A and B are shown apart, each in its own frame.
Chain A
Amino acid sequence: AVVSTQSGHYGRGIVKFVVGLQQPDGSFYGDVWGEVDTRFTFCAFATLALLGRLDECDLDAGVGFILRCRNFDGAFGCTPGSESHGGQVYCCVGALSIAGQLHLIDTEQLGWWLSERQLESGGLNGRPEKLPDVCYSWWVLASLKIIGKAHWIDKGKLVRFILASQDEETGGFADRPGDCVDPFHTLFGLAGLSLLGESSLAKINPVLCMPQRVIDKLSIKLEIINPYV
């Protein structure tokens, strides 16, 4: 279905809409009503890349905006000056991966900031001094994976944290052990476990949060840094 939209009617409309949301400073609105956030840069890049039309936006300007959202701690926020946040880091790192610009990241500094998200419980938080949350098993871990530093956290401890966040009666995953389960945390718990090498799960692509076998069928380049180089 995705492949057929590349040359189809819907593809053209989508590309026009997304490209039209880019602003002179390189950022993207989320819709015509003007909210700016690096989440929308990631969505824009991903949408255009999946349709094979990434070159139709101003990629350099988009990358320039992301870099202006990088903070003194080496991580990224939603707009220039906003606090570094695991979810925003994923969006910025993912966008830079799609744009083929991962070399612009200080992977040592960012990798360390991301590894500091792991608490004694094994879970990951999204910012310093916040509680761990299973969804950061995706945002933070995928970011680490993309920049080749996933081995900088204790994988065994994280696996145990994610599994402990399940509801043993109903199934599903919650944000942390003991809380109510929901589809959002179930998705990211499973995605995190796949990244951690859980053999019963399909291999997941850390940039687009889609099965790798789906990505392999598309002619889309997603940069991932080899951890062993």
Chain B
Amino acid sequence: KQWYQRRVAITAGSERALKLTTDAIDLNTANYTVWHYRREILKALKCDLEDEFRFTAQVIESQPKSYQVWHHRRCLIQMTKDPSRELGLTESTLSDDAKNYHAWDHRQWVLEQYGLWDGEFDYIEMLLQRDLRNNSAWNHRYFVVNSTDKWNHETVKKELEYAAKYIRKAPNNESSWNYANGIIKKNKFSYDEFPEFIDFCIKLDEDKILSPFLYSTLADIYQASGKSKRAHELYEKLKECDSIREKYWIYKQNLL
């Protein structure tokens, strides 16, 4: 009987039914069926969705890792074609947890759908100034460059300079090294096309910087240029300073 009453309420669309979904969401934010009913009721009531954006923002604040509330938010934007609140919303969520996977996914979707790229590099820079180890921000940088520019030699060179700036500040930061090595590899360039980056790595080594990521990158550079002996020495160093991954370094050494 309750089930039937609920179905009738949804079809009719009533404030009471809407309130029911609010209560159900409060009990279990992950109940995707209830979120679906809520959307149907909102459409039937022809609600002004300003309140709904506010409600969703509140739920996001208390349950920022709920797949369902973020999906609901996306549906609201699709219904209203209004993305004006989203960069602010995701910025707020990310100020509490700079690596919230849902917030980043949502932000990327909004940026791509509505082309709101202005100011995005500044935002990434601000996040990296706050925490240069924020892997999500590094990933986002790749996403923004990829969406707004071509990965030609000039772009890669510029991005390598950017990564190098942060590598100098924290040479043991996996994200900045992954970014540098990744943009070369993914875009099918080779190290010898970026002599400044090679010189940068060599200089770090001469300055006796202790970093498995530096040694690994240099070993790849030396291997590519035929300097197997120097690569071999670096793998010996890595087997010692990064012994937890000893078998990987042995594998790389055997490839020489």
- A and B form one complex: yes
Q: Does chain A have a CB within 8 A of B123?
A: no
Instruction: Decide: B142 and A71 in contact? CB cutoff 8 A.
Output: yes
Instruction: Decide: A151 and B247 in contact? CB cutoff 8 A.
Output: yes
Q: Does chain A have a CB within 8 A of B150?
A: no
CA A46 to CA B136, docked complex, whole Å: 29
Query: Which of the segments A20-28, A94-102, A124-132, A204-212 contacts the partner chain?
Result: A124-132
Of the candidates B105, B135, B248, which one forms a contact with A111 in the assembled complex, judged by CB atoms under 8 Å apart?
A: B248
Instruction: Decide: A72 and B183 in contact? CB cutoff 8 A.
Output: yes
Of the candidates B71, B75, B185, which one forms a contact with A72 in the assembled complex, judged by CB atoms under 8 Å apart?
A: B185
Within 8 A of A (CB), among B19-55: 32, 36
CA A72 to CA B182, docked complex, whole Å: 5
CA A102 to CA B112, docked complex, whole Å: 30
Given A72-B178, A129-B174: A109 and B185 interface contact (C-beta under 8 Å)? yes
Instruction: Decide: A31 and B136 in contact? CB cutoff 8 A.
Output: no
CA A81 to CA B182, docked complex, whole Å: 14
Instruction: Decide: B251 and A82 in contact? CB cutoff 8 A.
Output: no
Q: Which residues of A contact B142 (CB under 8 A)?
A: 71-72, 81
Q: Which residues of B contact A85 (CB under 8 A)?
A: 101
Closest to A109 in B: B185
Within 8 A of A (CB), among B81-136: 99, 101, 104-105, 108-109, 112, 133-136
Closest to B183 in A: A72
> Shortest beta-carbon distance, B190 to chain A, in Å?
15
Of the candidates A83, A115, A129, which one forms a contact with B245 in the assembled complex, judged by CB atoms under 8 Å apart?
A: A115
Instruction: Decide: B248 and A115 in contact? CB cutoff 8 A.
Output: yes
Instruction: Decide: A82 and B185 in contact? CB cutoff 8 A.
Output: no
Q: Which residues of B contact A152 (CB under 8 A)?
A: 245, 247-248, 251
Main secondary structure of the interface of B (DSSP, over half): helix
**Which of A33, A79, A122, A130 has most chain B Cβ within 10 Å?**
A33
> Shortest beta-carbon distance, B184 to chain A, in Å?
9
Instruction: Decide: A116 and B174 in contact? CB cutoff 8 A.
Output: yes
Q: Does chain B have a CB within 8 A of A157?
A: yes
Q: Which residues of A contact B32 (CB under 8 A)?
A: 31, 33
Closest to B147 in A: A81
List 9 A-B pairs, minimum CB-CB distance, nearest first: A72-B182, A83-B139, A72-B186, A128-B135, A128-B174, A81-B143, A152-B248, A129-B133, A73-B178
Please list 24 pairs of residues, one from A and one from B, whose beta carbons are closer than 8 Å in the complex, sorted by A's number: A31-B32, A33-B71, A71-B139, A71-B182, A74-B182, A78-B105, A79-B108, A81-B146, A82-B101, A82-B108, A83-B135, A83-B140, A85-B101, A111-B248, A115-B248, A116-B245, A118-B244, A118-B245, A128-B178, A129-B134, A130-B135, A152-B245, A152-B247, A153-B244
